[in-house]
């Protein structure tokens, strides 16, 4: 980043200790304009977030609190009505090859093979080594041997692996993931979380990952951003101090459970244990 830019001069307290901020969201508000007889709606307001290069940040919050809106704004598809978003010190003014989005619905082209779906972004960038690069990424996401398959011949988890490979193919500085495992069954979802961490461990791409799942948000993250609704805002950012590489048994540790209780308390105003006691009484 360029230290002389105004965004780089944001308060050091908002940055993780010892690391330069890579992605900066500063005092962002996003209002959807009135349309079709519906009034204007402020989806998020006063959002400040700084993400370091190589950091894995998850965003958790109730439905409608503006998680996707925030992600779309970082991607440059939605314009903030106030505030600034910058990547590497450069203001985000629209979509760019430095960011790639992975959606819940996979977004694959059904008529294209796995190989050709992964090549898609590289075609747009006119990369000449796209065939070899796509093969390498297909191997990375564990789909070697499925290059010629079409999306309808794959399971949900496999389709999402293709989506991840396709996003990584453009070598993004930031990978934006909007509930990428939301359409998968619980078991596949856990497997995919582990797979994603393995991929991230190898490439250390900066990730902003939106989820409804508290456990998923903790398991994956260096930091969890907890959002509240009406208007969408950040309630708290929680540093996750759990060892990496993470393995599923970490979920049973007291530390993990303490994070879960803290996030639940923020989201629901009370801890899961407190609610259990109330339910039983």
> Given the complex with ligand ATP, which of 20 and 77 has the nearer CB atom?
77
Size of the site for ligand ATP (CB under 6 A): 13
Q: Does 41 bind ligand ATP (CB under 6 A)?
A: yes
Q: Which of 143, 243, 153, 120 is nearest to 192 (CA)?
A: 143
- For the bound state, the minimum distance from the C-beta of residue 31 to ligand ATP, rounded and expressed in Å, comes to 9
Specify the DSSP element, H or E, that contains 86: strand 82-87
Binding-site string for ligand ATP from residue 226 to residue 265, where x marks contact by CB under 6 A and - marks none: ------x---------------------------------
Instruction: State the CB neighbour count (10 A cutoff) for residue 268.
Output: 13
Residues in 62-121 that interact with ligand ATP by CB under 6 A: 63-69
Q: Which residues contact 92 (CB under 8 A, 6 or more apart)?
A: 73, 74, 76, 85, 86, 99
The answer to whether the CB of 228 falls within 8 A of the CB of 46 is: no
| DSSP summary character for residue 121 | H
- For the bound state, the minimum distance from the C-beta of residue 30 to ligand ATP, rounded and expressed in Å, comes to 8
> Given the complex with ligand ATP, which of 26 and 67 has the nearer CB atom?
67
> Given the complex with ligand ATP, which of 18 and 94 has the nearer CB atom?
94
> Given the complex with ligand ATP, which of 41 and 131 has the nearer CB atom?
41
Angle, alpha carbons 226-230-232 (nearest 5°): 40
Interface residue list for ligand ATP (CB under 6 A): 32, 41, 43, 61, 63-69, 212, 232
């Amino acid at each position: 980043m360029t230290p002389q830019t105004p965004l780089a001069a944001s308060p050091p307290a908002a940055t993780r200790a010892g690391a330069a901020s890579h992605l900066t969201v500063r005092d962002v508000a996003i209002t959807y304009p009135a349309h079709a007889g519906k009034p204007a709606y402020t989806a998020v307001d006063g959002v400040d977030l700084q993400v370091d290069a190589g950091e894995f940040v998850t965003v958790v919050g109730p439905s409608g609190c503006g998680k996707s809106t925030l992600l779309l704004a970082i991607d440059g598809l939605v314009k903030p009505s106030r505030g600034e978003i910058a990547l590497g010190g450069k203001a985000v003014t629209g979509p760019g090859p430095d960011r790639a989005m992975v959606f819940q619905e996979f977004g694959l082209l059904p008529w294209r093979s796995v190989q050709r779906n992964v090549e898609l972004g590289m075609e747009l960038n006119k990369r000449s080594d796209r065939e070899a690069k796509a093969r390498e990424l297909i191997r990375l996401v564990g789909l070697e041997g499925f290059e010629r398959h079409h999306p309808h011949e794959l399971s949900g988890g496999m389709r999402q692996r293709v989506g991840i490979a396709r996003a990584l193919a453009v070598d993004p500085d930031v990978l934006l993931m909007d509930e990428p495992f939301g359409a998968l069954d619980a078991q596949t979802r856990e497997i995919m979380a582990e797979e994603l961490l393995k991929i991230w461990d190898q490439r250390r791409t900066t990730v902003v990952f939106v989820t409804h799942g508290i456990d998923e948000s903790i398991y994956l993250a260096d930091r969890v951003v907890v959002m509240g609704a009406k208007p969408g805002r950040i309630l708290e950012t929680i540093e996750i101090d759990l060892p990496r590489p993470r393995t599923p048994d970490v979920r049973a540790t007291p530390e993990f459970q303490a994070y879960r209780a803290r996030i639940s308390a923020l989201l629901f105003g009370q801890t899961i244990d407190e609610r259990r006691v109330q339910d039983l009484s």
